Every structure is written in C-alpha cells, then in structure tokens.
Structure 1
Amino acid sequence: MPGRPAHRRRGRPDPRGTAPRHPGRTPSVKYTEVEQKYALPDADADAVTARLTELGATAAEPSRQIDAYYNHPGRDFLAPDTITEWVRFRTEQRGSSFNYKQWHKPGEGTAHATEYETPVGDIEALRHAFEALGFPPLVTVDKTRTTWQLDDVEIALDRVADAGDFVEFEFKGEADTVEDAHARLDKTIADLGVDLGERVNRGYPHILLGRER
C-alpha cells in the first residue's frame, strides 16, 4: 500500500493516521509555495523592519539556519539549463526539517513551487542515510533569518553568508488558485511601500553555486 504523503509544514500527527489538514491552506495550494524574493541594498533591512513594525506585524526571534542541499544519484539536479528541484536538510535550534521542492515556471515572475516539508527528530541520521543511498552533497547555505507575520504573508529577513541581505515574502493564507495567491502577495508588497531593490528569481543555492537559473 503506498505511503501517505508527508505534510508540507510542521503540525501535530493526526491520531486517525491521516495526513493533517494544512492550517491556512486550501487543498488547491496545500503543497504549493508562492513567494517573492528581493536582494536588499545596504541598510535597507532596517527600513523594512521599521515599516513592518509600523504596520503592526509580529516578529519571531532571529534563528540561524544551516541548509545542506544534496544532489540526486540518478538524475543530476544541476544538469538542466534551469535548476528546478532540490533536496534540503535544515538544522536550527528550534527544530530541524527535511524538504523537497520542485519549481514550476522557474525564472518567471509567476513562479511557484511544489514543496513537501516535514519536521525531523534526528536530522543527522536522515542526512547520513541519504548519503549512504548515494545522494552527494551539493552546497550548504548558512543564514540568519528573522521571520515576521503580516496578515496572511510571512516576511523573512535573511542575512546569508557570502551572499548578502535578502527579504522573502511567502503567501500563507487561503487562496483558490496560485494566481490569486500571487495577486494578494503583490498587494502586500505594494502596501509595504519600501524600496526593496532587485527582484531575485533564484534560490540561495543558485547564488552560491554561481548559477543564473
């Protein structure tokens, strides 16, 4: 009998054995990530923080995240002209997680990703298991993240070692379609009213690997 799919975000196991309903997501976007990212000019993180405070957003404590990305032994994630998938192991003090992500329309303004993420009790054991299965290390991203919540959008201010400062906006509310989620994300960013610098359509691994796509 096929295994049940892992839930995308952290959550309590359903005592009935079924996958938990994703809080704040309708089934149409349950495993879909809709986000936008910008490279912040020097000191503009302070301007974003000030504006978020003014708008009444709430912030979590900063957290250092070590994200170890791995390649696939059977299909090279780096081989295509455009990288469209990752396997990631995240280590942080408040809890580790495993993540698989596959992008749709990568490099475009309406890009979104299918994403499966689940908390892991012993991340090192899982990582060693994947290495034993032949998954080779690809790149490690070391960043400090401060996460803010503004209505149905999560804003992450990231300081990435060897890459700089960035801000990510991720839609976390209920939406019938990906297009609707993008529209509501665009409105939140516009209402912020802060010069966010250059829009970035590639992940931190792309940047550290020197990949444009």
Structure 2
Amino acid sequence: MTALDGKIEVERKRQLADDGTSLAQQLTELGWTGAQPQTETDTYYSRPDVDFLQTVECLRVRRRGSFAEVTYKPPSTAATHSADSVIAKPETNVHLAAASQAAQADQLLEAIGMRLLVRVEKTRTAYSHALHPGVTVTIDMVVGAGAFVETEVISTDANAATAAVEQTEKELRIADLPPVDLPYRDLVLRNTQEALSPPGRRSRS
C-alpha cells in the first residue's frame, strides 16, 4: 500500500475539441514520448451514509491489462481545489497481486456496504519528456464523456507542482482549452442520466 510516499498528485484536465490526434502529433514534434495506449476500466463506489459525489471523494477499483489496484482520494476542499481548476490531493493506492483480484476487490467493497456508482472505461495514452521529469501529459478518450488532456505532476511541493502544470500547458499551447473540474466518474454519470431522461426533462446547459 502506498500514499505516494508523502507526495501529492497535482493535476488539471481540459476538454479537447477533437479526438486528440492533433495534440498527439504536437507532443511528438516537441519531443514527448507516448507510451502504448492502455484501456482502463474504473469501478467507482460511495459509502452508504456519505455521498462521494457531493464530497468529491474517490474510491475506485482500476483494471488495466494485467494490472489492478484500489485507490482512495479524500474529499475536495478549498485547499485541494484552486479557483483555476488545479487539483492537489494525496492518493492512497493498494496494488493487487493479479488483475483477477479486481473482481474480489469489488466483491469485498460491496460486501461491506459500499454503493456502486458507475463504471468508467477510457483509452489512455501517457506522454513523458526527458526535460520535464515528474510531468505526465495524458490524452484520454472516455466512453460516454469525450476526449480530454490531463497534465499531472506528483511532488511534495504543491506550489512547484502547480507551476510545472501551468508551464507545461503554456508550452503545449493548451492553456486556452476549457478546464474541466468534474471527475470522469461524474461526467459519465451525468451524460448517462441525461441520455436516459425523457426529452422534455433533459438539461439544456
């Protein structure tokens, strides 16, 4: 089990207007190296007595190829979410010995009363650069939500990490893209609920 060894995850995601192809090409031209695209399936849970959608807590079981883990992120506060959509949170991860144990993790969480919220499936391509250690730029194609770019820095210094996120976004010319405050969990849930609502009751926002 790890909590990032006292480090915090500082990130900001933005909505892409296309499927991310143009940004992927730009990243390559600027010397960023993309890893093999990975398909991730995240199963999100909430406590029966606390609505994690309201507290913006995260409890999930993640599956990716032969990899699986359980992750928890604490509630959002004014300290974890800045006005400019930068999120800085500690993260606790429990790595499972085999991907097959993900189903057992789901069973355990449900057995102790955790409430299933939604399953989110996405294809993720992570990019790194030798001159930007600790910085990861990720292009996500999220089923039922769209395409996004997420800039992430893991550090013990939240201010330095935030500055690195902002500098990277400027260099990649993505700082003007609309920021997204909601987790993928919430975006998929919202879109699913709107799709199931009668036409006259769907949100016009």
- State TM-score, norm by structure 1: 0.77
Contact 1:108-1:201 within 8 A present in 2 as well: no
**Structure 2 vs 1, CA of residues 210 and 147 (structure 1 numbering), >3 Å: closer, same or farther?**
same
Residue identity matched to 1:191: E
- Deviations along 1:131-159, one digit per CA (max 9) or x if unpaired, are 11111100111111111112221111111
Task: Summarize the alignment of residues 22-171 of structure 1 with structure 2, pairs less than 5 Å apart.
Answer: 22=5, 27=6, 30=7, 32-43=8-19, 45-78=20-53, 80=54, 83-102=55-74, 103-105=76-78, 106=81, 108-109=83-84, 110-121=86-97, 122-150=101-129, 151=132, 152-171=134-153
User: Counterpart in 2 of 1:17?
Assistant: none
Displacement over 3 Å in runs of 4+: none
Residues of 1 paired with 2:39 and 2:52: CA distance?
Answer: 26
User: Displacement of 1:77 after TM fit?
Assistant: 1.8
Residues of 2 paired with 1:126 and 1:94: CA distance?
Answer: 15
- Deviations along 1:110-144, one digit per CA (max 9) or x if unpaired, are 43122112321211111101111111100111111
Unpaired runs of 5+ residues, structure 2, are: 192-205
Residues of 1 paired with 2:59 and 2:175: CA distance?
Answer: 32
User: Displacement of 1:210 after TM fit?
Assistant: 2.1
Residues of 2 paired with 1:107 and 1:187: CA distance?
Answer: 16
Unpaired runs of 5+ residues, structure 1, are: 1-5, 10-21
Residues of 2 paired with 1:167 and 1:93: CA distance?
Answer: 22
**Structure 2 vs 1, CA of residues 108 and 206 (structure 1 numbering), >3 Å: closer, same or farther?**
farther
DSSP 3-state at the match of 1:130: helix
Residue identity matched to 2:142: V
Residues of 2 paired with 1:181 and 1:140: CA distance?
Answer: 30
Residues of 1 paired with 2:82 and 2:144: CA distance?
Answer: 22
Residues of 2 paired with 1:196 and 1:120: CA distance?
Answer: 39
Aligned pair partner of 2:3 in 3, 8, 12: 8
**Structure 2 vs 1, CA of residues 96 and 137 (structure 1 numbering), >3 Å: closer, same or farther?**
same
Residue identity matched to 2:137: I
Contact 2:139-2:149 within 8 A present in 1 as well: yes
Residue identity matched to 2:36: E
Residues of 1 paired with 2:176 and 2:35: CA distance?
Answer: 21
Residue identity matched to 2:149: V
Q: Percent identity?
A: 30
Contact 1:107-1:201 within 8 A present in 2 as well: no
DSSP 3-state at the match of 2:49: coil
Q: CA RMSD in A?
A: 2.0
Residue identity matched to 1:99: T
DSSP 3-state at the match of 2:36: coil
DSSP 3-state at the match of 2:52: coil
User: Counterpart in 2 of 1:199?
Assistant: 179
DSSP 3-state at the match of 1:42: coil
Contact 1:154-1:169 within 8 A present in 2 as well: yes
Residues of 2 paired with 1:194 and 1:113: CA distance?
Answer: 23
User: Displacement of 1:165 after TM fit?
Assistant: 0.5
